[in-house]
Chains A and B, each alone.
Chain A
Amino acid sequence: DAGITQSPRYKITETGRQVTLMCHQTWSHSYMFWYRQDLGHGLRLIYYSAAADITDKGEVPDGYVVSRSKTENFPLTLESATRSQTSVYFCASSASSYEQYFGPGTRLTVT
């Protein structure tokens, strides 16, 4: 089924470990985004990408790395996970500077 998917949906990892969250969309949208959702903060933009090989920082990029070698994939890597990165992560995509469509989310717990 077409759309935007995220994997894994749930992840528990230990402090200091590297973890990668995957995002895949089948619409060939140019723009892709990563947000984190924390109670009391709404959603905050981590990184975004306007096209393959073009990425830029959002509001809270520290501790995260992204890449986009293919239009349909936008992985988010936590290089050395910390407890403060426990959150729900949402990926989104957009065909233009217009409406963003959100994936189902990944709930990440760092112990």
Chain B
Amino acid sequence: ELKVEQNPLFLSMQEGKNYTIYCNYSTTSDRLYWYRQDPGKSLESLFVLLSNGAVKQEGRLMASLDTKARLSTLHITAAVHDLSATYFCAVARSTGTASKLTFGTGTRLQVTL
């Protein structure tokens, strides 16, 4: 059974600071996703990581994937208040007919002034 663990579950950080969210998973996977969710809203796709060593950056967010360690990180650089949201990683497993996602429990990020 695939298990996905995120930490921390809650992160309060000051504007301008850097921090990293970690996503560990238990079995081999062919792709990993990062999503953002604002309160009461749907999920917004941030990154899709397809291979070992993959690194993607968008603004102040950078995601990386180490398939050997079964670890993905989401690094936040110089946080701003607009980044306050809940961030989920999700690991994909292809089952022949579809790609099933297993989600982490999410990291609630609060950026304070």
Contacts and interface: CB of A to CB of B under 8 A. Distances in A.
* A and B held together in a complex: yes
Interface of A: 31, 33, 35, 40-45, 48-50, 54, 56, 58-59, 90, 94, 97-105
B113 interface: no
Q: Please classify how large the interface on chain B is, using the bins under 10, 10 to 19, 20 to 34, 35 or more.
A: 20 to 34
Contacts of B56: none
A45 B100 contact: yes
Interface of B: 4, 31, 33, 41-43, 45, 48, 88, 90, 92, 94-95, 97-106
A58 to B, nearest CB: 7
Contact of A97 (B90, B98, B105, B106): B98
Most A CB contacts (10 A, CB to CB) among B4, B43, B45, B95 go to B43
Nearest to A101: B45
Nearest to A88: B40
Contacts of A105: 41-42
A98 B99 contact: yes
Contacts of A49: 98
Nearest to B96: A50
Nearest to B30: A97
Nearest to A100: B101
Contacts of B98: 31, 33, 48-50, 56, 94, 97
